[in-house]
Amino acid sequence: MAKVKKNVVIRGLQGKLGGLVFREMPDGSTRVSAAPDFSNRKFSEAQITHQARIREASAYAKEASKREPIYAEIAAGTVYSPYNIALSDWFHSPVIHEVVRKDGLVRIRASDNVKVASVQVSVLDESGKVREKKDARQVDERWWECACDAERIRVEARDLARNLAAWEG
């Protein structure tokens, strides 16, 4: 790899030119190297799966960053774009931190890296089948409530990217 300094012709040149790759470094110098050859590259099954997930996340982020204003609000004043925030949201599921049952009321504390979009409480019978579903209402930034006094319940929290967190008890 060659390192070029103070050359007016090459300074600021970046990218591939013929079989050479030019990279501008933080100190202002330009590095020149042979272009890598990926023609015989074989991807593992895990790499192929990850690439598919990245494609799905990118497709979601492209549309959601325009549709959901919260992504732009979070990105404002940062180095991130609404697309970056939406992409991150796709990869992070919400978290159910706590479920408190008291006096016929179920209180759920849930969070997400962007926003918990909905919380649903399902009433389960003895065999674990869903008898009834109820939407919880948000009472503040982290807490959701639902009137329910069943013995067995399942709580599901979803974010804007439709990721799911579940709790059963």
Give the pLDDT confidence of 59-106 residue by residue, as tens digits: 999 999 999 999 999 999 999 999 999 999 999 999 999 999 999 999
pLDDT tens for 24-51 read 877 777 888 899 888 999 999 999 999 9
Q: Quick one: average pLDDT of 113-138?
A: 94
Most distant CA atoms of the chain, gap in Å: 78
Using CA atoms, how far apart are residues 68 and 115, in angstroms rounded to an integer? 11
Q: How many CB atoms are located within 10 Å of the residue 29 CB?
A: 15
Using CA atoms, how far apart are residues 153 and 139, in angstroms rounded to an integer? 20
Q: Could you tell me the pTM of the whole model?
A: 0.75
Using CA atoms, how far apart are residues 119 and 109, in angstroms rounded to an integer? 10
Q: Quick one: average pLDDT of 6-17?
A: 73
Asked if 50 and 44 touch (Cβ cutoff 8 Å), the reply is: no
Q: Is the pLDDT of residue 5 over 70?
A: no
What is the pLDDT at residue 7?
A: 67
Using CA atoms, how far apart are residues 41 and 84, in angstroms rounded to an integer? 28
What is the pLDDT at residue 45?
A: 98
Q: Is the pLDDT of residue 147 over 70?
A: yes
The mean of the pLDDT values for the chain is 91
Q: Is the pLDDT of residue 22 over 60?
A: yes
Q: Is the pLDDT of residue 8 over 90?
A: no
